[in-house]
């Protein structure tokens, strides 16, 4: 019942389901437009993420790094580094849900700055997740939709990561150096054998994303492992994102059968730069995941769509689900100046979006 309640409460799924039902009045969706390989990969990733959560992997590394910080800027750098790496493998959402509350608990206890470091942690999680094919759900979609080889994908993501890290480092220099006391000792231990097995299953999932194995193999392996470790893990899996993606496929299947929609979107797909800018701008209003699924049906310019959809995660609060989670976590654990945080968070994200869009334009012209 808890699983069903969690699915029913998911606002993004509610909106997607409503739009999917409305779309059925315009046309009948085609089964061939449902990318089941993507759905299997997302289910696999959501399951393995909950297993890592169960094993407290991220908590362990967050605590170990925190004990090494001597001032606020150094603490911010450590959190940003962990957020980037964690985003690559555990997705930006899980990274934010874990690291933002942890940082805010430390910040409130020692009266450290909150707004800039929390905003940067959210950005770092976005940048890290953009680097790998399995770091976020729209990258999984791109890999399956365009049948992208691993080396080709990383030839796109490495320049974006370098540009993103440059931006992140520049912003971090505005964090004032403020001494912090030693963090109290916590005995957080990693269970070696379950962690090793989980890493092996994660590699199977990654093999599915890279088309080495069928994507359903990784999903089944993750589910079996979850039941073997603790059946309750399956109750915490984010099934809503899987159903949401299924809804996206239904909506897009219908939209590409409506002539005026086809003409409108197709008219914007005239060049790599137009695909790049369209994906960034549309992400600000409908989020980068549905934007990627929609635009992906109308263009073969995968590098431009990859670049635009990942940069488009910056900007408005709805630019990506990650942004919404950062805001939600701040409301729950921050200093309760939600209006100020919202304005500062939005302002920093817009500045970051403008700078990274400019760098992305150069990458598109001179690197890809």
CB contact at 8 A, 223 and 47: yes
Q: Where are the beta strands (DSSP E) in the chain?
A: none
- What is the percent of the chain where pLDDT is above 90? 54
**pLDDT at residue 344 is higher than 60:** yes
**pLDDT at residue 252 is higher than 70:** yes
Residue 53: pLDDT band (50, 70, 90) is: confident
Tokens read off for 218: 């990784």
Q: What is the mean pLDDT of residues 57-82?
A: 84
Nearest to 333 by CA among 108, 172, 158, 150: 108
Backbone angles phi, psi at 300, to 5 degrees: -105, 5
How far apart (Å, rounded) are the C-alpha atoms in residues 304 and 53?
33
**Range among 179-188, 215-224, 281-290 rated most confident:** 215-224
pLDDT at 188: 67
Residue 1 burial class via C-beta count within 10 angstroms: exposed 0-12, middle 13-18, buried 19 and up? exposed
Q: What helix, strand, coil percent values describe the chain, rounded to 5?
A: 75, 0, 25
How far apart (Å, rounded) are the C-alpha atoms in residues 148 and 133?
9
Look over the chain and give the mean of its residue pLDDT values, rounded to a whole number.
Answer: 90
The rounded radius of gyration (Å) of the Cα atoms in the chain is: 20
pLDDT at 131: 97
pLDDT at 262: 85
How far apart (Å, rounded) are the C-alpha atoms in residues 254 and 25?
9
Which single residue is written with the structure tokens 């999984």?
Answer: 140
How far apart (Å, rounded) are the C-alpha atoms in residues 295 and 303?
12
Nearest to 257 by CA among 94, 26, 18: 26
Q: What is the tens place of the pLDDT at every residue in 193-214?
A: 999 999 999 999 999 988 899 9
Q: What is the tens place of the pLDDT at every residue in 209-246?
A: 888 999 999 999 999 999 999 999 999 888 988 898 89
- 234: Cβ–Cβ under 8 A, 6 or more apart, which residues? 47, 50, 223, 226, 227
């Amino acid at each position: 019942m808890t699983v069903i309640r969690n699915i029913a409460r998911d606002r993004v799924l509610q909106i997607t389901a409503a739009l999917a039902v409305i779309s059925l009045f315009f046309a009948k969706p085609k089964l061939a437009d449902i990318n089941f390989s993507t759905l299997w990969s997302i289910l696999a990733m959501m399951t393995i993420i909950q297993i890592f959560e169960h094993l407290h992997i991220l908590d362990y590394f967050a605590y170990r790094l925190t004990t090494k910080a001597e001032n606020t800027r150094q603490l911010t750098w450590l959190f940003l580094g962990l957020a980037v790496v964690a985003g690559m493998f555990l997705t930006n959402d899980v990274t934010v849900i874990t690291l933002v509350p942890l940082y805010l608990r430390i910040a409130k206890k020692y009266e450290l700055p909150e707004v800039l470091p929390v905003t940067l942690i959210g950005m770092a999680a976005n940048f890290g997740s953009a680097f790998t094919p399995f770091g976020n759900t729209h990258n999984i979609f791109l890999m399956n939709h365009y049948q992208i080889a691993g080396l080709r994908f990383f030839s796109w993501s490495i320049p974006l990561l370098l540009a993103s890290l440059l931006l992140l480092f520049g912003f971090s220099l505005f964090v004032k150096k403020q001494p912090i006391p030693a963090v109290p000792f916590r005995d957080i231990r990693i269970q070696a054998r379950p962690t090793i097995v989980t890493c092996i299953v994660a590699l199977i999932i990654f093999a599915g994303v890279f088309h080495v194995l069928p994507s359903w193999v990784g999903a089944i392996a993750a589910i079996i492992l979850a039941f073997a470790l603790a059946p309750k893990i399956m109750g915490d899996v984010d099934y809503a994102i899987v159903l949401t993606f299924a809804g996206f496929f239904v909506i897009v299947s219908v939209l590409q059968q409506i002539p005026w929609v086809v003409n409108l979107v197709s008219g914007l797909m005239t060049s790599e730069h137009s695909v790049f800018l369209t994906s960034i701008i549309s992400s600000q209003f409908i989020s980068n995941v549905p934007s990627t699924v929609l635009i992906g049906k109308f263009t073969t310019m995968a590098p431009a769509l990859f670049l635009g959809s990942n940069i488009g995660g910056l900007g408005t609060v709805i630019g990506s689900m990650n942004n919404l989670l950062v805001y939600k976590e701040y409301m729950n654990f921050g200093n309760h100046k939600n209006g100020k945080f919202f304005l500062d968070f939005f302002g920093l994200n817009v500045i970051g979006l403008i700078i990274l869009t400019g760098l992305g334009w150069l990458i598109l012209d001179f690197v890809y």
